[in-house]
Amino acid sequence: MARRLFGTDGVRGTANTYPMTAEVALRLGAAVGRYFRNGDHQHRVVIGKDTRRSGYMIENALTAGLTSVGADVLLLGPVPTPAVGMLTRSMRADLGVMISASHNPYQDNGIKFFGPDGFKLSDIAEEEIEALLDGPAELVPSPDIGRASRIDGDRARYIEFAKTTIPKNQRLNGLKVVIDCANGAAYRTAPEVLWELGAEVIPLGVTPNGYNINKDCGSTAPEAAAELVVAHGADLGIALDGDADRVMILDETGAIADGDQLMALIAGLWADQGRLANGALVATVMSNLGLERQLKARGLNLKRTAVGDRYVVEAMRAGGYNLGGEQSGHVVMTDFATTGDGLIAGLQFLSSMVDSGQPASTLARQFTPVPQLLQNVRYAPGSAPLEAEAVQRAIKGAEQRLGADGRLLIRKSGTEPLVRVMGEAEDEVLLQQVVADVAAEIAVFS
């Protein structure tokens, strides 16, 4: 079945433009409410959101759709995406919803769904929900319309949970930490967790106004946090994105460590402690070859998936792994959470600093990255460049030139007519040549 609404991470688009309109959200709420209707108990849905202005509109429309098919809705307000996964499970809800476009600018918004187990929905479930949009709404009789209410205490529950993810009685006393919340969903929870654990907290991106989420701050623009780390002589910087499911680490010099470095650190620590399930880490095809080599040197394996944290989690669940993530900063630890959690990942790093007594600059450099180059090549809609013989020859030739010391990844974008050409090689001159050669053949179809 062709997917019309759902992408790699729920439904996403420009607010007030299809598909991110109140009308679609209303219909989608009714459809997903019907999909999760099971038995005659009173169904419960929890809805969280980030700080975008359009969140109010989407929240109200979803609530109307859900209550129209008999579901009770509990509105959490601004909370991190991982908190929605946690609360869906702990509150025995039938469904969880997060309204967020993650690291995108405020003009965009999105809707992510979580099943009663707290995990994001599968492709099959999303396709079945889309199919329901074509049918009648099946509204319930007037006496059975659901209720909607805002609840208190959800933020405190998540704060207490986050604190339990580091060893009991471990404190962060004496550590000075910059926390950049991207003016997003964690603008209150993240600083409070760090403060309650004893850290001296220097907050950034904690004054959301509906329009400044991810603007010149957060994990996609960590330079401001890096400057603050250096200016204040901080021990560490933690930069979250708009919904706090991804993170970048900034050492005491302001240098940035991505998700690959953080996953390498945690994998090594957990392996030493006998906690790394099945001796492997799950990451996407975009993770650096240096990570794979570092794990192999330690006798650990790297299992690769398609791009998207949802696919990482699916592979983790299928293979019984408990650690995975993406280079972009999603770090998934299923011992703690059902999706990426930037704050909890940052806490694992801080915990390792306390245990080891080593500075962030040492812990954040687990391996030397292999030079990586990515080039996006636009092609004419309707054309099929990757099926062309000339392109296939160029790809094969590039792979032969790179040999065993490099890697070439070619993939089409799922949202626009682009082919992403990514290469890795120790020889940067060779790397630039092979990526340029493949990109030039694909560009013929532009």
Q: Which domains does the chain have, with CATH numbers?
A: 6-151 (3.40.120.10), 157-241 (3.40.120.10), 259-363 (3.40.120.10), 372-443 (3.30.310.50)
The string of DSSP letters for 267-279 reads HHHHHHTT-SGGG
Q: What's the CA gap between 236 and 347, in Å, rounded? A: 11
pLDDT of residue 432: 96
The string of DSSP letters for 228-285 reads HHHHHT-SEEEEE-TTSS-EEEE-TT--EE-HHHHHHHHHHHHHHTT-SGGGEEEEET
| Residues annotated catalytic, as ranges | 102
- pTM listed for this prediction: 0.93
pLDDT of residue 38: 80
pLDDT of residue 405: 87
Task: Convert the pLDDT of each residue in 242-265 to its tens digit.
Answer: 999 999 999 999 999 999 999 999
The angle, 0 to 180 degrees and rounded to 10, between the axes of the packed helices 123-132 and 22-35 is 110
pLDDT of residue 64: 98
Q: What's the CA gap between 76 and 151, in Å, rounded? A: 6
pLDDT of residue 154: 87
CA-based nearest residue to 35, from 144, 106, 125: 125
Contacts of 264 (CB under 8 A, 6+ apart): 281, 291, 294, 295, 366, 367
Q: What's the CA gap between 331 and 324, in Å, rounded? A: 6
In which residue ranges of the chain is pLDDT below 70? 1-3, 414-415
Task: Convert the pLDDT of each residue in 395-430 to its tens digit.
Answer: 999 999 999 889 999 998 866 789 999 999 999 999
CA-atom Rg of the chain in angstroms: 22
| Helix, strand, or coil (residue 48) | strand
pLDDT of residue 3: 66
